[in-house]
Amino acid sequence: MSGVPPLSFYDEIGGHDAFVRLVDAFYRGVADDEVLRPMYPEEDLGPAKERLTLFLEQYWGGPTTYSDERGHPRLRMRHAPFHVNPDARDRWLAHMRTAVDELGLSPLHEATLWDYLQRAAHAMVNTFEPSGIGPAAGGRDAATGPGTASAGTPRSHLPVTAEPPRGGDLR
């Protein structure tokens, strides 16, 4: 078997179709969420769906289209304009949990994906204030506000900075 590259996690769980199904199911939950939905700046959730799909595909060893189009992920910085408190995180994770369940993965794949999503979601929290107070509560347009300061937080211990499965740097 020498010379045959190991399958990536992306391939193992079903490639593009699996990630599209995951993110579609997740955004069905977001669309009905009274806290999360107003955070998304665009009327149409389609472009946000596309960005999350491309990011997750890249992270798990699929095509690198995300960075080709968007550059370095820098997810904590990109979330700085949004009010990501523990309530928002828990809602995000609840919709993701439903979406992961719908994929019907093997226990090992399910645990691997879920572990990552939980750690990443905890790392994205940028305020402990209730809604409306805290970093750039006005959303993305307020990206130059105080919220961007969190982009400078040391991140070496955060899950989104961890080496992705095939070794790229996706902070």
Chain contacts with ligand HEM (rule: CB under 6 A): 36, 39-41, 48, 51-52, 55, 70, 75, 78-79, 82, 84, 88-89, 92, 117, 120-121, 124
CA separation for the pair 113, 101 (Å, rounded): 11
CA separation for the pair 84, 86 (Å, rounded): 7
Please, what is the minimum distance in Å from the beta carbon of residue 66 to ligand HEM? 7
Assign 66 to helix, strand or coil: helix
Of 2 and 34, nearer to ligand HEM (C-beta) is 34
CB 128 within 8 A of CB 84: no
Of 13 and 75, nearer to ligand HEM (C-beta) is 75
Of 3 and 155, nearer to ligand HEM (C-beta) is 155
What is the token pair recorded at 115? 């572990």
Please, what is the minimum distance in Å from the beta carbon of residue 2 to ligand HEM? 34
Of 4 and 18, nearer to ligand HEM (C-beta) is 18
Please, what is the minimum distance in Å from the beta carbon of residue 157 to ligand HEM? 16
The dihedral formed by the CA atoms of 124, 19, 162 and 70, expressed in degrees to the nearest 10: -70
